[in-house]
């Protein structure tokens, strides 16, 4: 079985699930550590490729499929906004580069550092290894391309029934969740939902490696650096 890695951003850095003959999970402090893994495909839940103007077609197509879960897919701000280190400056930059003009939410601003970290390592050539995915789109595929009826979180806290639903979908979809080693990370570094999302990303990575994945949009545009702006599942 060829090795693949699924990655989700977490408070402690990046939580990575490597799926080969066995399953392992690793807390990586930088994305460079992720790229050091022996893997044919790395699938990460983080935007790759930033628009010059308003949003990306990838998010619009993903949200159209997710029903009540569509709020989990945020609109990617302009490249100019993502490169700003100051919140107010990023809002000004996005106002100037979006139509209609939009500011940047503080929630999205807080992950700009991770977005910039990946962007600094990314080239069109590296995109043959590293693919953008989204866990909720993966769970949508596992659920027979139907929106899930339970969220992962309620009022900012993990929702156990929502996590159980996603665990069941992973198992039914052939992901060997029962062989995932126990995790002992601090909650301040890795949440239960972060690890589960990384598993979903690894499942998508396997589909990409086997040529069975869904790509949104089917013919993705490229950003100013030549990076494909797409979401895979």
Q: Tens digits of per-residue pLDDT, 150-182?
A: 999 988 888 999 999 999 999 999 999 999 999
Whether residue 100 lies inside any domain: the answer is no
Average pLDDT, integer, range 60-69:
95
> Which position has the token pair 């589960």?
196
**How far is the first Cα of the chain from the last one, in angstroms, to the nearest whole number?**
19
Q: Which residues contact 62 (CB under 8 A, 6 or more apart)?
A: 70, 73, 134, 137, 216, 231
pLDDT for 197-214, tens place per residue? 999 999 999 999 999 999
pLDDT for 80-103, tens place per residue? 999 999 999 999 999 999 988 999
pLDDT of residue 80: 97
Distance, CA of 231 to CA of 49 (rounded, Å): 11
Tallying the residues shown for the chain, one arrives at 233
Whether residue 218 lies inside any domain: the answer is yes
Query: Does the pTM of the predicted model rise above 0.85?
Result: yes
Instruction: State yes or no: pLDDT of 46 exceeds 90.
Output: yes
Integer angstrom CA distances of residue 149 from 69, 138, 203: 8, 15, 21
> Which position has the token pair 């992973």?
170
Whether residue 78 lies inside any domain: the answer is no
Whether residue 162 lies inside any domain: the answer is yes
Whether residue 106 lies inside any domain: the answer is no
Whether residue 80 lies inside any domain: the answer is no
Q: By residue range, what is the domain housing residue 163?
A: 4-49+57-73+123-232
Q: How many domains does the chain have?
A: 1
Mean pLDDT over each residue of the chain, to the nearest integer: 96
Whether residue 201 lies inside any domain: the answer is yes
Instruction: State yes or no: pLDDT of 54 exceeds 80.
Output: no
Whether residue 159 lies inside any domain: the answer is yes
């Amino acid at each position: 079985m060829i090795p693949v890695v699924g990655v989700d951003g977490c408070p402690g850095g990046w939580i990575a699930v490597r799926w080969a003959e066995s399953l392992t999970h690793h807390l990586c402090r930088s994305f460079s550590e992720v790229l050091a893994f022996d893997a044919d495909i790395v699938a990460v839940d983080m935007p790759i490729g930033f628009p010059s103007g308003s949003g990306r077609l990838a998010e619009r197509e993903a949200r159209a499929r997710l029903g009540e879960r569509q709020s989990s897919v945020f609109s990617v701000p302009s490249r100019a906004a993502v490169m700003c280190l100051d919140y107010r400056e990023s809002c000004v930059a996005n106002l100037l580069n979006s139509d209609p003009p939009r500011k940047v939410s503080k929630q999205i601003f807080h992950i700009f550092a991770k977005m910039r970290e990946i962007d600094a390592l990314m080239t069109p050539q590296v995109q043959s290894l590293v693919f953008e995915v989204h866990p909720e789109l993966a769970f949508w595929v596992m659920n027979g391309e139907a929106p899930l009826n339970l969220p992962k979180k309620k009022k900012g806290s993990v929702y156990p029934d929502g996590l159980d639903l996603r665990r069941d979908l992973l198992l039914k979809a052939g992901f060997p969740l029962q062989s995932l080693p126990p995790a002992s990370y601090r909650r301040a570094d890795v949440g239960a939902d972060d690890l589960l999302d990384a598993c979903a990303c690894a499942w998508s990575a396997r589909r990409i490696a086997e040529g069975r994945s869904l790509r949104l949009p089917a013919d993705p545009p490229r950003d100013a650096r030549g990076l494909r702006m797409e979401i895979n599942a």
